[in-house]
Amino acid sequence: MGMNNTGTVLIVDDVVAAREIARLYLEEAGYSVLLAADGSECVELFREHAEKINAVVLDYAMPGMTGDETLRELLKIRSDVSVVLSSGYGEEDVQEHLATQPYAGFIQKPYRFATLISKLEELS
């Protein structure tokens, strides 16, 4: 475990259990964690805390605002935001919908938290 895990991560998932479990694992790994249930809540939280959020783990398929709409809004607020997309679909499927929007990483659901944490460490 590197000691550089002191960043703040915003977890966006419409499944309560998925958010809570992610929070437990990430806090144990030394991250501060913010949680959002959907795209609009994610954008709102990001707007409030943009300067301290190091990464956003964004569930791609959620009701309401889509993953690509959410990503577009986050990039408007801070163009250098690191977004890790998570989805039960494969990355190729997700990429087709994203047009050319940049994202920092992709993680296939269901994922192991060790995988998520090493993804986040690559970003820092």
Domain range annotation of the chain: 8-108
**pLDDT of 3 above 60:** no
DSSP 8-class letter at 12: E
Name the CATH topology of 8-108.
Answer: Rossmann fold (3.40.50)
pLDDT digit string, tens, across residues 28-40? 999 999 999 999 9
Strands (E), 13-92: 32-36, 53-59, 83-87
Burial 73-90, CB ≥16 within 10 A → b, else e: bbeeeeeebbbbbbbeee
* The predicted structure's pLDDT at residue 24: 95
pLDDT digit string, tens, across residues 94-117? 888 776 678 888 888 888 888 889
